[in-house]
């Protein structure tokens, strides 16, 4: 329990401050693979990782790109020589944190994190002495950077460039927008458990076993799965009552559920393996927060995963497509029209 409390103190302080750039020039693109998208707080922009091969980037190094929510004006945020890590928006939506494998103006192409405005201006450099890529978030103490990599939380000193591992499975956390409540997953000797956090009082309470938690905006419920793939469930945070939302048929499973902004719907990734198939089929689906039949949104897009609602709840952003040409898609959350690919589409 002591480990859990230490983890809580770091996570509540660090993530409560979560608070993304160059002029647009349409690039000539040879091939594409877009991953790890993040929607800006106002829903107008999408930051993502891309291995797009262009005239300036013929080898297809992985860089952070930006585009409008409708897929227009896609541009590389800050072309550098090395690979870059997943982008994370600041709470204000004015800048993005990301890892750079070759920081500009650094001796020997030193690695580290960059805070870059949505216009491509470097606001801060945090060189790192050891290789530690991952999602980067600013710590409110102004001295450290929180790094999430390989389902572990690391704390890096902005001035010294040193990083130390703090806890495992910190990747599985969620909180209300105002941080009135938070939930996180901890791996213990008897499985994975969800813990409810009351930041104002420091109270920690074990909820139930589960993984992939996502907290409703009002902090009164959490959606999750028991295992890495299984039925979607929710738990009432006040009364600790668990409710099963889905009833999958044999060969079906869900994972990574997320509430819509108003908490009325849940989007999740699903997998289905027909009895006569060697591989499973993945997709994106939605279901009422109260449970019932789920609605498939991406039956025509292979390898669909990582669904996330736009702030207005009308559309879902996800990753999908051929494995060698993964890209970003949007689809109406009510399933009223087919998914639309935002990334360039190329034959394999």
Q: Which tens digit of pLDDT belongs to each residue from 324-333?
A: 788 999 999 9
User: What are 269-295's pLDDT values in tens digits?
Assistant: 988 877 776 777 888 999 999 999 999
The confidence score (pLDDT) of residue 1 equals 47
Which strands sit side by side in the sheet containing 122-127, from one edge to the other?
Answer: 88-89, 95-100, 112-117, 122-127
pLDDT band at 32 (very low <50, low <70, confident <90, very high): low
Helix (H) or strand (E) holding 95: strand 95-100
Half-sphere exposure of 95 (CA within 13 A, CB side): 16
User: What are 162-210's pLDDT values in tens digits?
Assistant: 777 765 555 577 778 766 788 888 888 888 899 887 867 768 889 999 9
Beta carbons of 302 and 322 less than 8 angstroms apart: yes
Question: How far is residue 348's CA from residue 346's CA, in Å, rounded to a whole number?
Answer: 6
Which residue's structure tokens are 């009510």?
Answer: 334
CA nearest neighbour of 29 among 49, 50, 53, 51: 53
Six token digits for residue 227: 């295992």
Average pLDDT over residues 131-136: 62
Of residues 257 and 5, more confidence is placed in 257
On the question of pLDDT at 341 being above 50, the answer is yes
Beta carbons of 346 and 325 less than 8 angstroms apart: yes
Average pLDDT over residues 129-133: 58
Six token digits for residue 99: 């890892």
The confidence score (pLDDT) of residue 246 equals 94
Specify which of 86-100, 211-225, 290-304 reaches the highest per-range mean pLDDT: 211-225
On the question of pLDDT at 255 being above 70, the answer is yes
Q: What is the model's pTM?
A: 0.77
Question: How far is residue 321's CA from residue 296's CA, in Å, rounded to a whole number?
Answer: 16
The confidence score (pLDDT) of residue 16 equals 39
The confidence score (pLDDT) of residue 28 equals 47
Query: What is the pLDDT of the chain when averaged over all its residues?
Result: 79
Question: How far is residue 248's CA from residue 225's CA, in Å, rounded to a whole number?
Answer: 13
> Phi and psi (nearest 5°) for 4?
-65, -40
In Å, how far from its chain's centre is CA 97?
13
Question: How far is residue 90's CA from residue 136's CA, in Å, rounded to a whole number?
Answer: 10
Lowest mean pLDDT among 118-127, 214-223, 257-266, 303-312: 118-127
Average pLDDT over residues 251-259: 91
Six token digits for residue 77: 């945020």
Average pLDDT over residues 2-28: 41
Beta carbons of 18 and 90 less than 8 angstroms apart: yes
Handedness of CA 52, 55, 61, 62 (dihedral sign): negative
The confidence score (pLDDT) of residue 26 equals 44
List, in order, residues 6 or more apart from 276 with CB less than 8 Å away: none
The confidence score (pLDDT) of residue 9 equals 46
CA nearest neighbour of 155 among 169, 138, 177: 138
Average pLDDT over residues 22-28: 41
């Amino acid at each position: 329990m002591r480990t859990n409390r230490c983890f809580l103190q770091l996570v509540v302080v660090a993530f409560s401050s979560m608070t993304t750039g160059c002029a647009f020039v349409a690039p000539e693109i040879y091939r594409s693979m877009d991953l790890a998208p993040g929607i800006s707080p106002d829903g107008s922009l999408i930051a993502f990782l891309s291995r797009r091969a262009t005239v300036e980037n013929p080898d297809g190094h992985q860089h952070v790109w930006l585009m409008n929510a409708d897929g227009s004006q896609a541009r590389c945020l800050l072309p550098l020589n090395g690979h870059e890590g997943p982008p994370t928006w600041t709470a204000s939506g004015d800048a993005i944190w990301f890892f750079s494998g070759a920081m500009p103006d650094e001796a020997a192409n030193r690695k580290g994190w960059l805070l870059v405005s949505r216009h491509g201006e470097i606001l801060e450099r945090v060189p790192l002495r050891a290789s530690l890529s991952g999602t980067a978030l600013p710590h409110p103490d102004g001295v450290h950077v929180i790094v999430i990599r390989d389902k572990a939380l690391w704390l890096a000193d902005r001035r010294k460039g040193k990083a130390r591992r703090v806890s495992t499975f910190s990747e599985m956390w969620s909180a209300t927008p105002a941080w009135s409540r938070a939930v996180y997953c901890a791996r213990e000797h008897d499985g994975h458990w969800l813990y409810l956090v009351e930041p104002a009082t420091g109270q920690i309470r074990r909820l139930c076993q589960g993984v992939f938690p996502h907290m409703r905006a009002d902090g009164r419920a959490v959606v999750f799965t028991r295992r890495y793939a299984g039925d979607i469930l929710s738990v009432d945070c006040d009364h600790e009552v668990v409710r099963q939302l889905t009833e999958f048929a044999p060969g079906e499973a869900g994972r990574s559920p997320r509430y819509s902004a108003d908490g009325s719907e849940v989007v999740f990734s699903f997998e289905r393996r027909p009895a006569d198939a060697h591989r499973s089929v993945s997709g994106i689906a939605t279901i009422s927060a109260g449970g019932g039949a789920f609605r498939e949104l991406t039956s025509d897009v292979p390898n669909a995963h990582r669904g996330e609602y736009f702030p207005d709840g009308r559309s879902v952003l996800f990753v999908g497509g051929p494995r060698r040409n993964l890209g970003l898609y949007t689809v109406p959350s009510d399933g009223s029209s087919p998914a639309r690919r935002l990334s360039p589409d190329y034959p394999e």
